[in-house]
Structure 1
Amino acid sequence: MSSSVESDLLNKQWKTFLFPTMIKSSDLLTLFLKVGLAISTIFLITHFFYLSLTYNQPQQNYDQIAFKQMFQLRSPKTLNIESVEEPTNISHILFGIGGSTSTWHTRRYYSELWWQPNTTRGFVWLDKEPPKNETWPETSPSFKVSGDTSSFKYTCWYGSRSAIRIARIIKESFELGLDNVRWFVMGDDDTVFFTHNLVTVLSKYDHNQMYYIGGNSESVEQDVIHFYTMAYGGGGFAISYPLAAELVKILDGCIDRYSDFYGSDQKIQSCISEIGVQITKEPGFHQVDIRGNPYGLLAAHPVAPLVSLHHLDYVDPIFPNMTRVDSVKKLITAYESDPGRTVQQSFCYDHTRNWSVSVSWGYSAELFPFLPTAKDLEMASKTFKTWRTWSDGPFTFNTRAVKNDPCENSLTYFMDRVDDLGRGLTRSSYKRYNDVTWKDCERSDFAPALAVQYINVSAPLLMPHTWKEAPRRQCCEIINHGDGDNKVIEVHIRGCHRFESVSPR
């Protein structure tokens, strides 16, 4: 009985103390909101004073302190916040150029076309010291002499032992221990690199990963003999620092294991295959394993930056009526105006006159007095033969035949000049090439096309970031559709619209 009375008394006191019956639910909600606002205000004021005290501390220290204090109860691990690396540039590339004292005095002119003293880094690796009475040109890369390779095996009966020395350039370059190297790029003394585009290509890849980047031969017969999985050395290839660090550990023993292989690039690829790294193919590296006229290759370049050209002494000059070196100099004048757009193909139709125009920017233009399909226009005209047997093919890309009937072929124009118009625009001019060995079409409907002497092309600069997007050939439009001066065609190159396609009627 007494316990029942005590219980009733306690319940009355509890209800009276904690939950007064006179407090409404709406008043209780208001009270909670006021308390929450007060807590938030106190937190913000405290945080403001904290930021004021730490404002002058280095950003990295602040981040570490803030994270440690905010999360030390939840996560006892220290957070390591690394600084963001700068984008890859030319200073991060170390070139290793395979040369010899017997060839350098003639081939150095190709290297000097792209080498920039105090900007590009690397060395020409020679088989022996150059003659003491000769002064090494200041315009050439510095040289180093390769180590002795007489103890290595070489059993390829039709090759040269120099392949061992050239293969070891990557190892000797790595062992120099130079700072800030992300990529080792190998090439020959007759390789011309387009370094802005090389940087653009390598920037797409994480240099902290193991990468082996390059291109194949253009001639199938060469790829069958020397592997499709190989980056050809004359066209140049790039090896990231982490891969080089692994490769140099096994390279010397590996060279002996593949003593029967012909070339240095074969040996390098075989050793990389033991590490398990695969080639990453970039179509802008050009071995130029062709003979004859390289025109068709450059006039229908793949949609990729032009990175390198090799074997230029074994093909016709890329511009007619010029020496080989001077013709490359002329291409470089266009390249310096707009590196990323160099030899990039665009084509468009003039449906008023039933004409087609194809432009390989900075190199050539073609006028077709008819309407080929886009597929025909993007294929290289077969102006060349295979490297080994001088055959009509096969090649590693599609080609179209040069017809015997001049009425079924295009009219050719070569780059005359490139002008900088300012505001990120260029204007390039292409002049009609009259081949005295080639007969013009005598049909009357061909006469208006034969009257065209120049094709002028305006275009915006092609920014490097474009190559980080999905590759797409840029579009163009013919400005003067039969009006004005009939000796000049005006073309404008631009990015394609969203749903635009190039289709003849």
Structure 2
Amino acid sequence: MSSPRETIHDPFNSWKFLVFPTIKATDIFSLFVKATLLVTTVVSISLLFYSAFSNQSQWLRCPECNGVLLSGHRKLTKGNNAFDDSYQETNVSHILFGVGGSAKTWNQRRHYCELWWRPEITRGYVWLDEKLPETETWPKTSPPYKVSEDTSRFKYRCSYGSRSALHIARIVKESFELGLDNVRWFVMGDDDTVFFVENLVMVLAKYDHNQMYYIGGNSESVEQDVIHSYTMAYGGGGFAISYPLAKELVRVLDGCIDRYTSFYGSDQRVQACMSEIGIPLTKELGFHQVDIRGNPYGLLASHPLAPLVSLHHLDYVQSIFPGMTRIDSLKKLIIPYGMDPGRTLQHSFCYDLNRNWSVSISWGYTIQLYPYLRTAKQLETAFRTFQTWRSWSHEPFTFNTQPISHDPCERPVVYFLDRVESVGRGQTLTTYKRHVEEGNESCDRQDYALVQAVRFVNVTSSTLKPDIWNMAPRRQCCEIVNREKQVVEVMIRGCKQFESVTPP
């Protein structure tokens, strides 16, 4: 606010002499042109500042999100859910989540949901199968809940399944019928699904929400895909339905539920309806059903070239970080994710040709170091640290795997994330500490002794910009930048022209 003595300059003050009758017509025209140019300049500068601010706000740091970035988010308030932003790129406010849950088990499962849910930023509901007891208080850290309609009128004839599949199948219909404003995507998931929301936004922003899209992923275990479907988005991994497709789906969904009574799950019924509408599954590799048993290390250490969107079934696999609880492991992964969402679990590998070493990086999670040169094909193939979902077999999976050798001299030296920090504008430093598993025999060869002497691996990288996922995919390159005995320094960067990971 100006003080009483300040004079406020009026850029239009010079216009007032236009009222003087002594001014010639030519002068009036000249002054009119000057005034028009002045107005145009002011408007242009205003638009320039607005554009700069809008672009800057696409990736805002959210204080409520423990450092996690949310793309173009708005804080939702009462009466402020009717956004007129049809010109905007897709952001988190355009997504309505529908989470399938049970009143009896929510308190045991809610911790997964609360890892990614951000009150007043994310939109959606947990849909319960029955009302809560009046004595029970709903946690403020959980998404708000609604109770699904009674489904007793529908048939269910799967002998090994549960009727809860019916109420979960109808979540997209009941979510649509809420009639909320400016919903572009309906995203379905389970109460033990962990979404990585910024990456979900990046994936959905690639698609025209005015078209009919059904987006998700398959099971990792072939036996599951054979039994259920290869053309289905598995519900635990989550899937997204665009608004126009949801509008079509709700018209036929109840009929599909009664036509496909022998199907096991809710996701099968939804896909059966998609088949009737004629919409195929658009597969995105970052949706993870996690239909595996045992240790998920091999899967996560060789993540496909796609943003990490979701993880499911985490109660059925070991913790992703050794020596930690499942929830604490996820919290640890979310720390680097909060600093560079798109780079999380992204795979890079390179060589130290002076020592003939190979390094494989799963950013924000783990590093594998070898005292010899492995081919790119070997480095990108997941170690089989897990079994299939149904039969606990060693194969088959929907991606290539390789066994872990019983010979300790053929296994990599493994490092896990220790800490992450910002080291400058758009730069991060992640540090990985050598993991020594008790009871495992170590290699006594001299070349392995040199690798085992390395206690830490430091990795520097620039924040991965969201628009990189709109380009043709390419794994980023890396290089080893120092040769100390106890610390190896690696830099991840974009690949140069004609660069490849080719051993000599």
TM class, shorter-length:
0.7 to 0.9
SS of the equivalent of 1:221 reads: helix
Matches within 5 A, 1:179-194: 179-194=181-196
In structure 2, distance between residues paired with 1:155 and 1:492: 56
**Deviation readout 1:27-70 (Å, 9 max, x if unpaired):** xxxxxxxxxxxxxxxxxx99x97x959x89xx9xxxxxxxxxxx
1:337 aligned to 2:339?
Answer: yes
**SS of the counterpart of 1:124?**
strand
Please, which of 410, 413, 416 is the counterpart of residue 412 of structure 2?
Answer: 410
Percent of residue pairs bearing the same amino acid type: 67
Per the alignment, do residues 334 and 83 of structure 1 end up closer, same or farther by CA in structure 2, a change over 3 Å counting?
closer
Per the alignment, residue 424 of structure 1 pairs with 426
Give the counterpart of 1:283 among 282, 285, 293.
Answer: 285
Cα distance change, pair 84–248 in 1 and its aligned pair in 2 (3 A): closer
User: Is residue 469 of structure 2 the alignment partner of residue 467 of structure 1?
Assistant: yes
Alignment equivalent of 1:378, drawn from 377, 380, 387: 380
What is aligned with 2:498? Answer: 499
User: What's the secondary structure of 1:422's corresponding residue?
Assistant: coil
Give the whole-Å Cα distance in 1 for the aligned partners of 2:183 and 2:424: 35
State how far apart, in whole Å, the 1-side matches of 2:351 and 2:105 are. Answer: 47
> Aligned to 1:271, which of 265, 270, 273?
273
Paired letter, 2:502: S
2:161 corresponds to: 159
Q: 3-state DSSP class of the match of 1:491?
A: strand
Return closer, same or farther for 1:371/1:264 CA change in 2, 3 Å cut-off.
same
Larger Rg: 1
Counterpart CA distance in 1 for 2:488 and 2:369 is 10
Report the equivalent of 1:448: 450
Structure 2 residue 489 is the aligned partner of structure 1 residue 487: no
For the residues of structure 2 that align with 1:226 and 1:420, how far apart are their CA atoms? 45
CA distance in 2, matches of 1:334, 1:103: 30
Query: What is the aligned counterpart of 2:306 among 304, 307, 310?
Result: 304
> 1: CA distance between counterparts of 2:104 and 2:382?
36
Among 325, 328, 333, the alignment partner of 2:330 is 328
Counterpart for residue 71 of structure 2: none
Letter of the aligned partner of 1:488 in structure 2?
A: V
- What does the per-residue CA deviation read over 1:303-362, in whole Å, with 9 as the maximum and x for residues that have no partner? 000000000000000000000010000000110010000000100001111110011000
Please report how far the alpha carbon of residue 86 of structure 1 lies from its aligned counterpart in structure 2 after TM superposition: 0.4
Q: After the TM superposition, which residues 34-433 of structure 1 pair with which residues of structure 2 at under 5 Å, given as runs?
A: 85-433=87-435
Post-superposition shift, 1:135? 1.3
Change (3 A) 1:83 1:130: closer
Aligned to 2:72: none
TM-score of the superposed pair, with normalisation by structure 1: 0.84
Matching residue of 2:438: 436
Instruction: Give the Cα separation in 2 of the matches to 1:177 and 1:250.
Output: 18
In structure 2, C-alpha distance between the alignment counterparts of 1:399 and 1:120, rounded to whole Å: 36
For residues 217 and 419 of structure 1, the distance between their equivalents in structure 2, rounded to whole angstroms, comes to 35
* Structure 1 residue identity aligned to 2:346: Q
**Aligned-residue RMSD, C-alpha:** 1.9
Could you tell me which amino acid in structure 2 is paired with residue 356 of structure 1?
S
Query: Quick one: which amino acid aligns to residue 455 of structure 1?
Result: V
SS at match of 1:365: strand
Note the alpha carbon deviations across 1:79-132, whole angstroms, 9 max, x for none: xxx997101000000000000011110110000000000000000000111222
| Matched AA of 2:376 | A
Flag structure 2 segments of 5+ consecutive residues without an equivalent.
1-28, 44-83
Structure-2 residue corresponding to 1:37: none
Q: Supply the distance in 2 between the matched residues of 1:127 and 1:186 (Cα, whole angstroms).
A: 16
211-220 or 130-139: bigger deviation = 130-139
Partner SS for 1:492: strand
1:498 Cα deviation after fit: 1.7
Q: Which amino acid aligns with 2:487?
A: V
Partner of 1:39: none
Q: Which structure 1 residue ranges, 5 or more long, are not aligned?
A: 1-44, 60-81
- 1:412 and 1:368 mapped to 2: Cα distance? 9
- Secondary structure of 1:447 counterpart: helix
Distance 1:339 1:238 in 2: 19
Q: Deviations over 1:377-398 (max 9, x none)?
A: 0010000000000000100000
**Alignment-derived partner of residue 34 in structure 1:** none
Partners of 2:372 and 2:247 in 1: CA distance: 56
Tell me the distance in 1 between the aligned counterparts of 2:497 and 2:154. 58
